[in-house]
Amino acid sequence: MTNNQLDVTVSIVNWNTKDELFDCLKTVLDQNGSVSIEVIVVDNASSDGSAEHIEAQYGDRVQLIKNSKNLGFGMAHNQSISRSNGRYVMLLNPDCRLLEPDVLGKMAAYFDAQPNIGMMGPKIMNLDNTLQYSARHYPNMIAGIFRHTFFGKLFPKNRFVRNYLMTDWAHDQVTDIDWLSGAALMVRRETFKQIGLLDERFFMYCEDVDWCRRAHTGGWRVVYFPMTSISHRIGAASDKNPIPMIKQHHRSMLRYFFKYDAKSPRILLTPFVMLALWFRSRSLIKRARSNK
């Protein structure tokens, strides 16, 4: 598979998740060698000793970029991508684990066989071995009103959230999809050279939806690939500071709405969108405070 060019760059953005990060790095560095890899970790000014531990433990096996402040998910990954040498770049959250010895090799091989695929994501499992819904339809306002809110508790099986998360689908077949979670997302170099890097106006959240959408616009396929799998502990970093993260999430959702709907008739829904996002964010903040 290798033709004197590195196959896969693994890009990890870390913020105060030292324990999860080193478990993640072990599974990456233990891949069986069917592809050549490089690993780049961007540390967003962690205070838990993450960067110092990488320097001490991994030396030249992991490239480290140390930021003096938290630049956010997209900007930090862009730093890594700009330095990368791989034919493919794998965005990987530090709270992920590769569950098989050749996750990267299987994904790269499928990319090689399907040159019109621009982005691809593996099956993602929760820590309790249940399926994580990482392949989704594009977000919409109605699904947002019902997800993680009082209305969702009243109508837990509503069709709007089911459709958004694609819960009625078995997630067991290779399938073209609207968008994939940035927790584990492999991207072809030619794709991001054409459509650009992650949109840095999204500090955190929604940048993966936006990137997949731009890939579609550029004529690339976005594919869910359940032939290999990883585990993902959701919120290892965001749970350390939940209320600012909830606010940031909803800012990103509003930014996404304006980016794609500002020139469409849906812009007339702006007051309702803002009210719905405010209501949803207050509901989640209240829940976060009650869990302290």
Average pLDDT on 96-118 reads 97
pLDDT at 99 over 90: yes
Question: What type of residue is 73?
Answer: F
Does residue 65 fall inside a structural domain? yes
Number of domains in the chain: 1
Does residue 7 fall inside a structural domain? yes
17 phi/psi in degrees, rounded to 5: -125, 55
Average pLDDT on 271-287 reads 63
Token digits of residue 252: 């990103």
Q: Residue 215's pLDDT is what?
A: 98
Does residue 21 fall inside a structural domain? yes
Per-residue pLDDT band for 2 (boundaries 50, 70, 90) equals very low
Average pLDDT on 223-241 reads 84
Please give the helix or strand (H or E) that residue 97 lies within, else none.
strand 96-98
CA distances from 147 to 112, 159, 238, 274, 276 (A): 37, 11, 18, 16, 11
Does residue 12 fall inside a structural domain? yes
pLDDT at 281 over 50: yes
Domain carrying residue 38: 1-133+171-234
**Which tens digit of pLDDT belongs to each residue from 190-215?**
999 999 999 999 988 889 999 999 99
Q: What is the CATH number of the domain that holds 111?
A: 3.90.550.10
Does residue 252 fall inside a structural domain? no
Per-residue pLDDT band for 241 (boundaries 50, 70, 90) equals low
Does residue 111 fall inside a structural domain? yes
Does residue 110 fall inside a structural domain? yes
Does residue 50 fall inside a structural domain? yes
pTM of the model: 0.86
**Which tens digit of pLDDT belongs to each residue from 209-224?**
999 999 999 999 999 9
